[in-house]
Amino acid sequence: MEPVEMQESPPHSVVDPDSADFCTSILSKFSASAQEHHHHLCAAVGAMSQELKEQNFPLTPVTYFGATCSSLDRLVSEPTRPATS
What is the distance in angstroms between the CA of the first residue and the CA of the last residue of the chain? 38
Cα separation of 74 and 31, whole Å? 28
Condensed to tens digits (0 to 9), the pLDDT of residues 27-36 reads 999 999 999 9
Condensed to tens digits (0 to 9), the pLDDT of residues 21-79 reads 888 988 999 999 999 999 999 999 999 999 999 999 999 889 999 999 999 999 999 88
- Tell me if 32 sits within 8 A of 20, measured CB to CB: no
pTM above 0.75, yes or no: no
User: Which pLDDT does position 78 carry in this prediction?
Assistant: 83
Is 16 a residue whose pLDDT tops 60?
no
Domain ranges of the chain: 22-76
User: In a 10 Å sphere around its CB, with 0-12 CB exposed, 13-18 middle and 19+ buried, how is residue 59 labelled?
Assistant: middle
User: Which pLDDT does position 6 carry in this prediction?
Assistant: 59
Helix (H) or strand (E) holding 47: helix 36-54
